[in-house]
Amino acid sequence: MIVERAYASIPPDTPSKEVDAWPWAVPCVAELLADGLHFTAPVTFLVGENGSGKSTLVEALAEGFGLDPWGSSHQRRYVGPRAKSLLGERIRFDAASGRGRRMLGNWSAREGFFLRAETAMNALRRENFDPESASHGEGFLAVFREKFQRPGLYVMDEPEAALSFQSCLELLGHMDQLAKNGAQVICATHSPLLTALPGADIIEVGDHGMRRTPWSDLALVDHWRRYLTDPRMYLRHILD
């Protein structure tokens, strides 16, 4: 299910000094404000260094869709005390052009889930899962198996943090099935394994803003390839 684009705007009454501050001054946010973000495939990955703004983007996209910023399903919106972020308040989804497949037009029928690594355990409890009955990674996979099935918007922030290599492969399979079922997946990640999903749209986030990059040209893929070939190339710079 392809959304035409997401877009945002700076509140008109924002003081000029705040326009140059977070989040508006983050390069990827500035590009979102200027050009929007077009979704061209059922699965979109956002990759980049820590601090590049990819988590800021995925959280705001989840909020713009009406999902709890703490992480949870569409059925449990804003169950916590946290208000929407400055950017999340301004995010809108636009499917008016008529090209491609759209998100569900009826807000009451919209489904989705926001899963973020640092609040996953609380999200699991809110979804009536018992995190104590399984490992952290198994808890993640339980959500994917039980909740990530129907068409809708599924937003993930570094889901690989709790997963082993084999579990990441299982997650990749869930993403592929969601795409085939008509869902839209947006995932911020550092994983070269996940981003290798065939047909996925990969957006590299950094000081340049946002740019679509083939998997083989990603900086994270290049670094992992070099490191696994010869760890000493990197370790000699940080170890005595």
Report CA dihedral (187, 41, 3, 217) to the nearest 10 degrees. 60
CB 184 within 8 A of CB 207: no
Higher pLDDT, 93 or 33: 33
CB 87 within 8 A of CB 29: yes
- Residue 80, pLDDT above cutoff 60: no
Domains defined along the chain, listed by start = 5-213 (3.40.50)
d(CA 130, CA 46): 30
- Residue 31, pLDDT above cutoff 90: yes
Q: What confidence score (pLDDT) does residue 142 get?
A: 74
d(CA 165, CA 170): 9
Q: Identify the sign of the CA torsion 94, 98, 100, 106.
A: positive
Q: What confidence score (pLDDT) does residue 86 get?
A: 87
List the strands of the sheet with 201-206, edge to edge. Answer: 72-73, 112-116, 153-157, 184-188, 43-47, 201-206, 209-212
d(CA 7, CA 93): 6
- Residue 95, pLDDT above cutoff 90: no
Mean pLDDT of the chain: 82
The predicted-structure confidence for 146-187, as pLDDT tens digits, reads as follows 777 778 889 999 989 878 999 999 999 999 998 998 889 999
Q: What confidence score (pLDDT) does residue 121 get?
A: 66
DSSP three-state, residue 24:
coil
What's the average model confidence in pLDDT over 120-126?
Answer: 66
